[in-house]
Structure 1
């Protein structure tokens, strides 16, 4: 199984990096082919230029590589912090440039203009790991948990990925080393369960 891991956090020593590395090591240990993309480390440009908007646009090499990898993936893992109820801008820009019509989804011909999408990704399962400095109860009660809607409904289901799991680890800013180790172990168990060998 090919699993694509997309990581978006600027600090290489962050819990997010630990989660992504743990997921990658676990999946590789199970015999999966893993492609880990650290968007900050590779300098991914999140700005979508006007020339890339048309479906037939020629894409820069790096963007084209990301498009190819996400299309080939049998499973997807996304790792990022919750910033203002949103992914970091670099990841939002990755969605703008990589989750393209004609690549990840298309609109049904003759749909009357309302934009009924048909997903093109072959991956049917994805997991999103978030870190947060807001208590989960407050995130849901006060903010409505916008990341749940963004990933499950606005991105993955539109692209045909129907089995979407999300786990938020927090509150990170007051967590102990022991707590972080527990979270990493939980991330390990989640990817092992969701992407079983063979």
Structure 2
């Protein structure tokens, strides 16, 4: 059992950082080997290069490392805010550069008559924790909860991940210390469940 934990928030005192810290501390307590990355702190370059299109191997050592760790991990955690119904550009760039063929998905050989893409992350579990300042009913009824579709269908589903969990914590701006403590306790409990411990 191994885990990858990816954080995408630029402010070091954000609640996203508290979530990330709780996940990492819980995994450490459980003895789960963990690859943990704060994309902003590591100055990850989110820009996909023309040389990385298709299946050409990237020359970026950090992207190669992230990809190897992702493939080796059994549980994948992602922590980020809800910005305009999307992940921050930093995390979108991570998905563009790391979730790529032939590692996370691939296509059938041309001589097989084509067909649907083949997800290569089957058997893994995907977990997403988001923060938002939008009230839950408005997020779901007016906006249609776009992050749910992005992660569960477009990323995890496309790559073959069938077991997933996503939780949006809101409203962050007016949350109390009691709210945040309860949310972090929930993060720890969910982390334990996702790694089966």
Partner of 1:125: 125
Instruction: Specify whether residues 91 and 81 from structure 1 end up closer, same or farther in structure 2 by C-alpha distance, changes over 3 A only.
Output: same
Partner of 2:62: 62
Alpha-carbon distance between aligned partners in 2 of 1:55 and 1:32, rounded to the nearest angstrom: 31
Aligned Cα root-mean-square deviation (Å): 1.3
Structure 2 residue ranges without an equivalent (≥5): none
TM-score where L is the length of structure 2: 0.95
Partner of 1:26: 26
TM-score where L is the length of structure 1: 0.95
Alpha-carbon distance between aligned partners in 1 of 2:65 and 2:26, rounded to the nearest angstrom: 24
After superposition, where does 1:97-108 map in structure 2 within 5 Å? 97-108=97-108
CA contact (8 A) 2:122 2:162 kept: no
CA contact (8 A) 2:125 2:164 kept: yes
Partner of 1:87: 87
Partner of 1:40: 40
Length, aligned pairs only: 196
2:21 is equivalent to residue 17 of structure 1:
no
Instruction: Specify whether residues 193 and 45 from structure 1 end up closer, same or farther in structure 2 by C-alpha distance, changes over 3 A only.
Output: same
2:152 is equivalent to residue 152 of structure 1:
yes
Q: Which runs of 4+ in 1 moved over 4 A?
A: 110-113
Partner of 2:3: 3
Using the TM superposition, give the Cα deviation of residue 112 of structure 1 relative to its aligned residue in structure 2, in angstroms.
Answer: 4.8
Aligned residue for 2:142, secondary structure, equals helix
Alpha-carbon distance between aligned partners in 2 of 1:121 and 1:193, rounded to the nearest angstrom: 20
Using the TM superposition, give the Cα deviation of residue 56 of structure 1 relative to its aligned residue in structure 2, in angstroms.
Answer: 2.4
Structure 1 residue ranges without an equivalent (≥5): none
Alpha-carbon distance between aligned partners in 2 of 1:89 and 1:112, rounded to the nearest angstrom: 36
Instruction: Specify whether residues 123 and 44 from structure 1 end up closer, same or farther in structure 2 by C-alpha distance, changes over 3 A only.
Output: farther
CA contact (8 A) 1:105 1:117 kept: yes
